[in-house]
Amino acid sequence: MRFHYLLASLVLLLAVYPYVSAGPNGSAALKVFSSFVLITGVYAVSNRRRQVAIAGLLAIPAFGLGWLHIITGNPALGAAESIFTLLFYAFTALIGLLQVLRERQITTDTIYGAVSVYLLMGLTWANAYGLIESVSPGSFSAGSGESAFTFPTFIYFSFVTLTTLGYGDITPVTDQARSLAVLEMVSGTLYIAVLIARLVAAAGWMPRTGRE
């Protein structure tokens, strides 16, 4: 697997987005880091031609539309970028999950892939929440009275939901938003359960050392 660069870019994005997004050029800075995720994501699935072709067909429009949105400020471009980015994250996560499940032995690459899939799931749902809010404003409410939700806000809400932590400071209001939140909670719980079961099963394939 080739997920080490992708994992590094995902961790970097999640570590720096609260700081770069707050500056005057926050949107452009955040786009730089998210572009790294697109590039490393294509590399992560490049072991097969069909996979890299599909990833490229999703990543190129996401990359181009994202920067056009930054330059022009056109909300339609932002919505189109979110769709392609969501599909790219979901596709890359799916490929990573399949590779992890096919592994017979636990290796460093297996762990990189497993963690990358989990982080991609959070970003996938964050894009889905952003799309819902753009199509139907008011789908979320905040206890602080915040009314304009940004993508960094949805990153936070997505991972809080994925881990079923549930602080309750941001709440889905519409049925569509609540449905997405329920699906994310279920997917996060199932992923952890399936992953642990698979890693335990893979450990049985590891050669034993020492005396019985």
Instruction: Give the tens place of pLDDT for each residue, 21-35.
Output: 776 677 888 899 999
By CB neighbour count within 10 A (0-12 exposed, 13-18 middle, 19+ buried), where does 174 fall?
Answer: middle
175's tokens: 């049925």
CA proximity to 124, closest of 91, 90, 149:
90
Would you list the domain boundaries of the chain? Answer: 4-203
Residues 6+ apart with CB under 8 A from 5: 40, 43, 44
Please report the DSSP string for 88-148 in residue order: HHHHHHHHHHHHHHH-SS--HHHHHHHHHHHHHHHHHHHHHHHHHHHHSTTSEEETT----
User: Taking the model in full, what pTM does it have?
Assistant: 0.89
Which residue has 């032995």 as its token pair?
105
Q: Which residue has the higher pLDDT, 109 or 210?
A: 109
pLDDT tens digits, one per residue of 155-201? 999 999 999 887 888 999 999 999 999 999 999 999 988 888 777 77
Give pLDDT, residue 78.
87
pLDDT of residue 208: 46
- Tell me the pLDDT tens digit for each residue of 72-105: 988 889 889 999 999 999 999 999 998 888 877 7
Tens of pLDDT, residues 107-160: 888 889 999 999 999 999 999 999 999 889 889 998 766 667 888 899 999 999
Tokens describing residue 36? 């790294």
Q: Does domain 4-203 have CATH number 3.30.1490.20?
A: no
